[in-house]
Amino acid sequence: MFEQIFKKKDNTNFKVTIQQFGRFLSGMVMPNIGAFIAWGIITALFIPTGWFPNETLSNLVEPTIKYMLPLLIGYTGGYNIYGQRGGVVAAIAVMGVIIGTEIPMFIGAMIIGPLSAWLIKKFDKLIEGKTRSGFEMLVNNFSAGIIGGILMILAFLAGGPIFSVINHGLSIGIQAIIDAKLLPLSSILVAPAQVLFLNNAINHGILVPLGVQQAAETGKSILFMVEACNAPLSGVMLAYCLFGKGIAKRTAPAAFIIAWLGGIAEVYFPYVLMNPVLIIATILGGISMLTIFTLFDGGLVAVPSPGSVILFLAMTPKGSFLVNVVGYVVGMIVSFLVASFILKRSKYTNEGNDDLNKANDKMEDLKGDKSIIRSVIAEQSTQSSLSPNKIKKIIFACDAGMGSSAMGASILNKKMKEAGLDMVVTNKAINEIPGDVDLVITHRDLVERVSQKVPGVRIISVDNFLNDTEYDKLINELKRNSN
């Protein structure tokens, strides 16, 4: 994983490297969001200032945030590097940095976990082929225990103090920004970064770990609302529902529901790229929303992921309900009004798919890997036609294995049943694609990463996971070949 992140390529620029590193960080947090939500619900309900204060159940809050959540992040980071063996060694080492500090050690877990797994991976490669037959299990278990134990001691003695200082410095910096009322200006950077598919990297790689630390100290954090709150993008989608044109207007209501209630931000990106000036609407909506939260002490107890309005309300602590709701509504209204003004004066009139397709082309250009991706797609397109006798397991793959890929899998599953085709269609993160998969469907910007994960496997690239016309083509080909 480290090699993939920092591997030098002629056509890889700094932006793409940041994207890869961001995905690496978010890959440690995203699979454990359920645990963060569980902790957030318990915190919101049972702490002394919660909705239903309970002295006994509130004892769950501190051990969960200090031990369970950092261990999960560390294990996941290690697992992403070197499977279960890497995860176990990572958890051992991370326990040392947890015990060596008095604060929740998320930053330490995100560094120590993957590093420990990388070290055990290098050790295994060093002794590969040198272990006598029959002693493999003994060597594997003792090496994991010894190396893990050494790393735990080092993390306890050195890592704890070092990461405590780093964490303290970051906390002071973030708090200074909040105290100076400058946090709303972060929307100027966050809104454009979202359409570059940096949303998970920003939120789960940076804001969530710092927000959890802040929530542990104060009972809530405004950092959970900077990127995850979907009010501004929902306002833009609502404007498309009323003032859009052609295919954009017809598809906007479904996209609005998915973005607003489902919390899947990715469905919004192509609509903004159809008319990039709409970024202004998202920025102004975000600034307005965060200004309300900042001035009147808004905050959430945990990250609402996905960014659904339902989870937003569920993660709202008792004392912040009014300000959170007002800020959310203000952000959505401002974004809607600005987007409506822009759309009314927009010149795009195409009634077909060209505008959305062009928007996806813009997304590819902005992300930077156009030449690589096109070459991989061309290579995949030369493969033999699809046969239902050979295709039994189909996987939709994206960064997190949730959200957009889950929606695509649901759409295709329904169409498969209607067509009478007996195939398993599931969704997974790219890092979790199994080796026995027969066909992978992914966004075309992710084709290269999928081909690296499962070389030789058939890949179908799509511009939009909600574009069911692509799935109709797949089903028609499968049915033709079966006949």
* C-beta separation of 69 from 113 below 8 A: no
Phi-psi category of residue 229: left, alpha or beta, with phi > 0 → left and psi -120 to 50 → alpha: beta
How many angstroms from the chain centroid is the CA of residue 340?
29
Among residues 97, 70, 325, the alpha carbon closest in space to that of 216 is found at 70
d(CA 232, CA 193): 14
Q: Which tokens hold the place of 54? A: 């309970």
Rounded alpha-carbon distances, angstroms, from residue 254 to 68, 259, 339? 38, 9, 18
- To the query of whether residue 398 is one of the catalytic residues in this protein, the response is yes
Contact present, 227 and 210 (Cβ < 8 Å):
no
- Helix 208-218, helix 33-46: angle, nearest 10: 20
Q: Which of 365, 469, 449, 456 is nearest to 400 (CA)?
A: 449
Out of 398, 411, 440, 478, pick the active-site residue.
398
Structure-block tokens of residue 475: 């089903």
DSSP letter string over 10-72? TT--HHHHHHHHHHHHHHHHGGGHHHHHHHHHHHHHHSTTSSS--TTGGGGHHHIIIIIHHHH
What is the pairing mode between strands 424-429 and 393-398? parallel
Burial of 18 (0-12, 13-18, 19+ CB in 10 A): middle
Q: Quick one: residue 134, left, alpha or beta (phi over 0 = left, psi -120 to 50 = alpha)?
A: left
Question: Which amino acids are annotated catalytic?
Answer: 398
